[in-house]
C-alpha cells in the first residue's frame, strides 16, 4: 500500500534542504545534503534496523518508489542522492551478514558515509555478465585489478559495492561481490561529466587488496546479488521519472492556462489540450505499472524480473514523452538554460540507459514470456 504520509515527508524534506541541494558542487557528492536527508529521517526509513535504519523489516520496494517519486517531483538533486545511497548499500543489506550490514551499511543509512554501486565496465554495460575486472586469490583475500566506468558517486564515495570476476571464462557464474574502501591502496578515480550534472566517475583498481570479510554473500554468486538489487531498483527508477514527468505536466497545464494566443488561452486549442490529456493518461498507466511491480517485489512474485523490467521500460519511455510534450506546449522559453523543463529534459534521458537500457528491458520481458 502506498504510504502518502511518507510521500509528504519526502517532499517536506526536499523543500527543507533546497538551499543545501542548490549549494552543492555540480557533478560531485553533496555530503551536507546526504547528512540532511538522514537527519530528516528519510534515509533511515529505507534501511532495516540491522543496517542502521528504522525499518522493522527489510527494504520495501513500494516505499522506495514513494520516496523517489516524491523527491523526483520536488528536487532531482535530492532524489539522486537518496537513490545512489540506497543502491550502493543494498547489496550489503541483502547479501551481507548482520555484522557487515551494521558495519558498512549503517553509516550510509545515517548519512555518515557515501556509498556507490560499481558494476559497469568499459566492455560490460548492458551485458553485465561480461565483467572483466579480475579478483585473484591472495592469502586471506583477493587482489582486484581493472576498470569501472559510469559509477554514480565515484570517485567521492567512501565505500563501493563492487562486482569482480573470480572465475575466468565462467560468464555470470564467476562473479563475486565485494566491499571496497575509498582509501584502499591501488584504488583511484576521476569524475566524468555528462549532460546531467550527477556525481559520476571512473574507477581504476591496480591490485587492490580486499580481505575475505569484505566478500558479500557467496563467492562466484555475485551476479545473482547484482540482479536482485536491480529488480528492486528498476521500479523505483520508473517512480523517480514519474515525479519528474508530473512536475513537467503541472508546469504545462499552468502555462496552457495562462498563455494566450489568437485572443484566447492556448488550453482551448485541441492541439494543446488533447496532447496533455494523452500524456496524463499515459503517466497514470505508468504509475500503476510501477507500483504493481514494486508490490510484486515485496510479495516475492516469481516473475518480478519481468515486471520490474516492464515498469522501468514503460515509465522511462513515457516520462521522456511527457517532458517533451511539456516543452512543446511552452515553446522556446522552455529551452532557456535554467528553466525547469530544460533541466528535466536533461535529467530524464539517462534513466532510459542506466540500470539496464530500454532494449535490455525488452529482452528480459521477452525471455520470461517464452520461458513460460
Strand 115-118 to 159-165 pairing: parallel
Residues 6+ apart with CB under 8 A from 123: 130, 132
Task: Give CA–CA dist 101/93, Å, rounded.
Answer: 5
Residues 6+ apart with CB under 8 A from 199: 27, 28, 29, 30, 80, 84, 152, 153, 154, 156, 191
196's grid cell: 546531467
Q: Beta partners for 209?
A: 143
Task: Give CA–CA dist 78/284, Å, rounded.
Answer: 24
Strand 187-191 to 200-211 pairing: antiparallel
Identify the three-state secondary structure at position 327. Answer: helix
Q: Which domains does the chain have, with CATH numbers?
A: 4-113 (1.10.540.10), 116-220 (2.40.110.10), 223-371 (1.20.140.10)
pLDDT, position 125: 80
User: What is the set of active-site residues?
Assistant: 355
Instruction: Render each residue's pLDDT in the chain as its tens digit; 372 residues.
Output: 678 889 999 999 999 999 999 999 988 999 999 999 999 999 999 999 999 999 988 889 999 999 999 999 999 999 999 999 999 999 999 999 999 999 999 999 999 999 999 999 999 887 878 899 999 999 999 999 999 999 999 999 999 999 999 998 888 899 999 999 999 999 999 999 998 888 999 999 999 999 999 999 999 999 999 999 998 999 999 999 999 999 999 999 999 999 999 999 999 999 999 999 999 999 999 999 999 999 999 999 888 999 999 999 999 999 999 999 999 999 999 999 999 999 999 999 999 998 889 999 999 999 999 986
183's grid cell: 582509501
Task: Give CA–CA dist 28/157, Å, rounded.
Answer: 10
String of DSSP letters for 182-223: TT-TTEEEEE---SS---EEEEEEEEEEEEGGGEESSTTBHH
Q: What is the 3-state secondary structure (H, E, C) of 230-282?
A: HHHHHHHHHHHHHHHHHHHHHHHHHHHHHCEECCEEHHHCHHHHHHHHHHHHH
The model carries a pTM of: 0.93
Identify the three-state secondary structure at position 118. Answer: strand
pLDDT, position 372: 64
The CA R_g of the chain, rounded to the nearest whole Å, is 21
CA atoms within 13 A on the CB side of 216: 32
Identify the three-state secondary structure at position 339. Answer: coil
Task: Give CA–CA dist 72/245, Å, rounded.
Answer: 9
Q: Phi then psi for 261, rounded to 5 degrees?
A: -150, 140
pLDDT, position 128: 79
Amino acid at each position: 500500500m502506498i504510504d502518502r504520509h511518507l510521500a509528504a515527508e519526502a517532499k517536506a524534506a526536499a523543500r527543507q534542504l533546497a538551499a543545501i541541494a542548490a549549494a552543492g558542487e555540480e557533478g560531485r557528492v553533496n555530503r551536507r545534503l546526504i547528512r540532511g536527508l538522514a537527519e530528516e529521517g528519510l534515509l533511515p526509513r529505507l534501511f532495516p534496523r540491522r543496517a542502521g535504519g528504522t525499518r522493522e523489516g527489510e527494504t520495501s520496494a513500494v516505499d522506495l518508489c514513494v520516496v523517489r517519486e516524491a523527491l523526483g517531483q520536488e528536487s532531482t538533486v535530492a532524489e539522486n542522492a537518496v537513490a545512489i545511497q540506497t543502491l550502493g548499500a543494498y547489496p550489503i543489506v541483502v547479501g551481507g551478514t548482520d555484522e557487515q550490514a551494521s558495519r558498512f551499511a549503517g553509516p550510509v543509512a545515517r548519512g555518515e558515509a557515501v556509498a556507490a554501486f560499481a558494476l559497469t565496465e568499459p566492455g560490460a554495460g548492458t551485458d553485465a555478465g561480461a565483467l572483466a575486472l579480475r579478483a585473484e586469490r591472495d592469502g586471506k583475500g583477493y587482489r582486484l585489478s581493472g576498470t569501472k566506468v559510469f559509477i554514480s558517486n565515484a570517485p567521492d564515495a567512501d565505500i563501493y559495492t563492487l562486482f569482480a570476476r573470480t572465475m575466468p571464462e565462467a560468464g555470470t557464474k564467476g562473479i563475486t561481490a565485494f566491499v571496497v574502501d575509498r582509501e584502499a591502496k591501488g584504488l583511484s578515480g576521476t569524475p566524468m561529466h555528462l549532460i546531467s550534472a550527477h556525481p559520476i566517475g571512473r574507477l581504476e583498481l591496480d591490485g587492490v587488496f580486499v580481505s575475505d570479510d569484505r566478500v558479500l554473500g557467496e563467492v562466484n554468486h555475485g551476479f545473482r546479488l547484482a540482479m536482485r538489487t536491480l529488480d528492486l531498483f528498476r521500479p523505483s527508477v520508473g517512480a523517480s521519472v514519474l515525479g519528474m514527468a508530473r512536475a513537467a505536466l503541472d508546469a504545462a497545464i499552468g502555462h496552457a492556462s495562462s498563455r494566450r494566443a489568437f485572443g484566447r488561452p492556448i488550453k482551448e486549442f485541441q492541439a494543446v489540450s488533447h496532447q496533455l490529456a494523452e500524456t496524463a493518461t499515459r503517466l497514470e498507466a505508468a504509475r500503476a505499472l510501477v507500483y504493481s511491480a514494486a508490490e510484486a517485489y515485496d510479495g516475492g512474485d516469481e516473475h518480478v524480473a519481468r515486471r520490474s523490467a516492464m515498469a522501468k521500460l514503460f515509465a522511462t519511455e513515457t516520462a521522456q514523452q511527457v517532458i517533451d510534450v511539456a516543452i512543446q506546449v511552452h515553446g522556446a522559453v522552455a529551452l532557456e538554460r535554467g528553466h525547469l523543463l530544460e533541466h528535466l529534459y536533461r535529467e530524464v534521458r539517462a534513466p532510459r540507459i542506466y540500470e539496464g537500457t530500454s532494449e535490455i528491458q525488452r529482452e528480459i520481458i521477452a525471455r520470461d514470456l517464452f520461458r513460460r
